[in-house]
Structure 1
Amino acid sequence: MNVYDLAHNLARAIKENEYYKEFARAKKLIDGDAEAKKILTDFRNRQMEVEKARLLGQKPPADKMEALHKMQEIITANQKIKSYLEAEFKFGRLMADIQKIIGEGLDLFEKNA
C-alpha cells in the first residue's frame, strides 16, 4: 500500500477517535462564541509572553504572572473554555502518542541503554 494512502487512512481513523470528536465539538462551541474565543486568545497570548521570558532565561514580570493567574481563574469558571482546553489536551496527547509510535518505528529516537 502507498504511504500516502496509509496516511489518509490514519487521518480517517483519527477522525473516528472519541478524543478527536470531543475536541471538534468543543472547538465548534468556542468558534461560535466570540467572547469565549477572545478570552482563550488573550489567555494564550499571556501564556506565550510568560513562556518567552522563561525561554530567554528571564523571570517573567510579576504583573504578567498576575494577569495570567487572573485569566486562569476566568477560564476555570467558564465551562465552555475549560471543556475545550481539556479536549485539546486529550487530543494533543493522542497525536503525540501517534507521533511517538511512528518515530519509534523509524528508529528516530535514541534507545535507553
Structure 2
Amino acid sequence: MSVYDSTTKLASDIKESKEYKDFKKNMKIIKSNPNYEVILNNHRKIQMDIKSKNLNGVTIDKKTLKLAQDLKKTISSNKDLSRYIDSEYKFTSMMDNINKILASAVYEDYK
C-alpha cells in the first residue's frame, strides 16, 4: 500500500470517527443559530486576549475577567453550546494526536 493510499484511508477513517461525526453534527446546530456563533466568537476573542496578556505579563482587568466568566456560564448552561465545545475539543485532540504520530515518523531525521 502506498503512502497516498494509506493517507486516503486515514482521511476516510477520520470522517467515519465518532469524534468527527459528533463535531460535524454539533457544528450544524451552532451554525443554525446566529446567536450561538456570536457567543462562541466572543468567547474565543476573550480567551485569546487573556492568553495573550498572560504570555506578555500584562494584568487582566476585572471587566475582561467578568466577561470571560459570564460567557463561560452562558456556554455551560446551554446544552447545544456545551456539546459543541466538548465535541470540538475531542475532535481537535484526535487530530493533534494524529499529527504527532505522523510527525514522529520523520522527527528523528530532523534532530
**Post-superposition offset of 1:7:** 2.4
- Paired position in structure 1 for 2:47: 47
Distance 1:11 1:64, change over 3 A: same
What do residues 29-69 of structure 1 show as CA deviations (whole Å, max 9, x unaligned)? 10111111111111111111111111212121221011101
Same amino acid, percent of matched pairs = 28
What do residues 65-92 of structure 1 show as CA deviations (whole Å, max 9, x unaligned)? 1110111011111110100000001111
TM-score, structure 1 as length reference: 0.87
- Paired position in structure 1 for 2:106: 106
Q: Name stretches of at least 5 consecutive residues in structure 1 with no aligned partner.
A: none
**In structure 2, how many angstroms separate the alpha carbons of the residues matched to 1:76 and 1:38?**
15
- Paired position in structure 2 for 1:67: 67
Number of residue pairs matched by the alignment: 110
Q: Which amino acid in 2 is paired with 1:70?
A: D
Q: Which amino acid in 2 is paired with 1:35?
A: N
Distance 1:33 1:108, change over 3 A: farther
**Cα-Cα RMSD:** 1.9
TM-score, structure 2 as length reference: 0.89
Distance 1:105 1:78, change over 3 A: same
Superposition pairs of residues 1-113 of structure 1, within 5 angstroms: 1-108=1-108
Q: Which amino acid in 1 is paired with 2:66?
A: E
Deviates more, 1:92-101 or 1:4-13: 4-13
Distance 1:41 1:9, change over 3 A: same
Q: Which amino acid in 2 is paired with 1:31?
A: K
Q: Name stretches of at least 5 consecutive residues in structure 2 with no aligned partner.
A: none
Q: Secondary structure at the match of 1:99?
A: helix
Distance 1:108 1:76, change over 3 A: farther
